[in-house]
A and B are shown apart, each in its own frame.
Chain A
C-alpha cells in the first residue's frame, strides 16, 4: 500500500527530523534554566516521530517501532521520576537532597549541572511524554481500516 509522501517531502523530512529531535532534547535538558521542560521537549521530539510517520508512511514506521520497547521506556521514565522524588525520603517526599546537600547537580545556579533532581525529572518526563505520544499515535495509525 502506498501511503508515503513525495520525494521533496521525504528529503525535507530527512533534513528536519534530526533538527527537531536536537531542539527537543535541548528544551528537555535546559528545562531548569529556560522556558520549556520535560513535557514541552518531549512533545517536540514526538513531533519528529509524527513527521516521520507522515512523510515515510505507515509501513516504514512499523518497521522501526517496537511496542514493547516503547511501553517499557515509558514505564522506565515514570520510575526514574518516582526514584528522583524518593531520594530525599529520609526528610520528606520530593525533598531535593541532591541540591541541598550538594551531592550532584549542585553547581552554580544558572549552569547546566545545577538544580539537583530537576534535570533528572525533566529527562524522565521528557522520555515518558515522547514514548507515550509516539505509542498513542502509532496505535491510532495502526487502528483497523475504515471498513472491514
Chain B
C-alpha cells in the first residue's frame, strides 16, 4: 500500500486529537505531539527512500485510482505528485519539526495554552508537507494558507508581550495580502485554461501561451517572493522571527520560508512554466531579487544588536543564495552550469534549514537561561554555557561556509556556477558572505569575551533542549564530511528531475 497519504493523515490526526488527549493528562499531550511528529518523520523518510530508489515520480490520486475522468483524457481529481525535490524537503520538514517539538517540551514549559501550541505546530507541519507533495495548484493554495495561518498564530503566541502582537499583526496583514495575490493568479489561470492540475496546466500553457498566463505568473511570483522573504518584502521576517518562541523561529526560518517560498517558486517556474516562457528573462528577474536579497539581508545582519534579529536578517541573506541558485538554474536552463546552480540551491535549502534551526535553538537556550537576547549584555557566555556556545560555533561556522561543515559544499556550488555564468554575480555572492562573516564574528566575540554581570548565574539548559541541538550538530558535521557524495547521489538527481518538466506532465497524464 502506498504510504504517501499518511504524510497528511498522521499530522492531521495528531492535531484533531490533541484537544481530546489534553483532557486525559498534560504529560500525555506532550508525549503525543512527539510521537506524532516522529511517525511523520518515518513516513517522510520512507517516501523519500522509495522515490530515490526507483527514481520515479510518485502520483497519488484522491478519490480514485486514476486522475483522469471517465472517457476523457484530462485529469479531474486532486493529484499529489511527489518528485525527489518534494520528498527531500518533506524529510527536512519532518526532521526539523520533530526536533522543534522535542525542544519545546522544556522551552515552552512556563507558557500557558500549550494544547493550542502543539495543535498549531502540527498544523504548521501539515501545511508545509502538503505544499511539497501536492500536484494541484488550488490544493497548493489551501496548504499554503494552512501553513500561513498557523504561523501567524504561532508568531503571536506569547500574546502578553507587545512584540509578539505587533509582529503577528504585521505578518498577518501583509501575509494575507500576499496570499490573495497568489489566489488571484490562480483564479486568472483557471479562468483562462479551465484546469487546476499543475501537470495539465503546464501542457495547456505550452500549447497556448497567453498574456493572461504571464500576468498570473507575475501575481503568483510576487506573492511567493513575499512568503520567502526576498528583499523588498522581507520586513515581516525581521519582526516575526525575533518575536516568536524560539522553537517556532527555528521552524519559520528553517522551513516556512523554504516550503512556502523557495520550493513553490521552483515548482511553479520549472514544472508549469519552463517550456512556454522566455525563461532567460524570468531567470534574470529572480537573479535580480536574489542579488538584492543577498546584499541587504547580510548587510543588515551586521548592524543588529538583538541576537534573534541578527539571525533573522541572516536568513534573508541565505534566501538570497538559494534564489540566486534557482535564478541561474532557470537562466542557464539545460546547461551544465544550470544543473550545478540548481543542485547548489537545493543543497543549500536543506543545509540552511538544519543550521539555521540549530542557531535559533541556541538563541532560544540563551534567552531561556539568561533572559535577554541583547548582544551587548551577553559577553562571556562561553564559560557558563559551554555546550550552547559550541553549538553556536558549529552553526556559525557552517553558515559562513567553513570547509569541514555542510555549508561549504552548497555555497561552493553556488559560487562556482555563478562565476561560470557571470563573474559579476559571483562577486556579489562573495560580498554577501563577507558581510555574513562579519556579523557572526561579532557574535562569536561576544560569546567568548569577558564575563558580564548578567551571565554569572547562567548554565546549560536541560536534556530536552540539549538533545535537539546535539542531533543538529551531528547532522551538520556528517553532511559536512560527505559533501560531494551527497551532492552526486541526491542533489544532482534532484535537480535533474526538477528540470525535466516533460516527465512531470507525463506522470499524471500518462505517456
Give chain A's interface residues, CB within 8 Å of chain B: 68, 71-72, 74-76, 78-79, 82, 86, 89-96
Contacts and interface: CB of A to CB of B under 8 A. Distances in A.
Contacts of B20: 72, 75-76, 79
B17 interface: yes
Contacts of B62: 92-94
Interface string B2-27: 00010011001101111110010000
B72 interface: no
6 contacts: A72-B19, A72-B20, A75-B19, A82-B9, A91-B65, A95-B64
B319 to A, nearest CB: 33
B19 A86 contact: no
Given A82-B9, A82-B13, A89-B5, A96 B23 contact: no
A92 B9 contact: no
B16 A90 contact: no
Dominant secondary structure of chain A at its interface with chain B: helix
A82 B16 contact: yes
Nearest to B115: A71
> Could you say which of B5, B19, B20 has the most chain A C-beta atoms within 10 Å of its C-beta?
B19
A89 to B, nearest CB: 7
A95 B60 CA distance: 12
B50 interface: no
B61 interface: yes
B65 A72 contact: no
Interface in B58-74: 60-65
Contacts of A75: 16-20
Contacts of A68: 23
B198 to A, nearest CB: 19
A79 B16 contact: yes
Given A92-B63, A92-B65, A95-B63, A72 B13 contact: no
B17 A79 contact: yes
> Could you say which of B12, B16, B17, B65 has the most chain A C-beta atoms within 10 Å of its C-beta?
B16
Contacts of B5: 89, 93
B17 A86 contact: no
A93 B64 contact: no
B1 interface: yes
Nearest to B18: A75
B429 to A, nearest CB: 43
> Could you say which of A72, A76, A90, A92 has the most chain B C-beta atoms within 10 Å of its C-beta?
A92
B340 to A, nearest CB: 38
Nearest to B78: A94
Given A90-B1, A91-B65, A92-B64, A79 B13 contact: yes
A74 B61 contact: no
A82 B12 contact: yes
A92 B13 CA distance: 17
Interface in B284-315: none
Contacts of B12: 78, 82
B231 to A, nearest CB: 36
Contacts of A96: 63
A45 B147 CA distance: 28
Nearest to A131: B19
Contacts of B65: 91-92
A92 B63 CA distance: 6
Contact of A94 (B13, B15, B63): B63
Given A79-B16, A82-B9, A94-B63, 17 more contacts: A71-B19, A74-B19, A75-B18, A78-B15, A79-B17, A79-B20, A82-B12, A82-B13, A82-B16, A89-B1, A92-B61, A92-B63, A92-B64, A93-B5, A93-B9, A93-B63, A95-B63
Nearest to A79: B16
Given A79-B13, A82-B13, A90-B1, A72 B23 contact: yes
B9 A78 contact: no
Nearest to A80: B16
B366 to A, nearest CB: 32
A75 B20 CA distance: 7
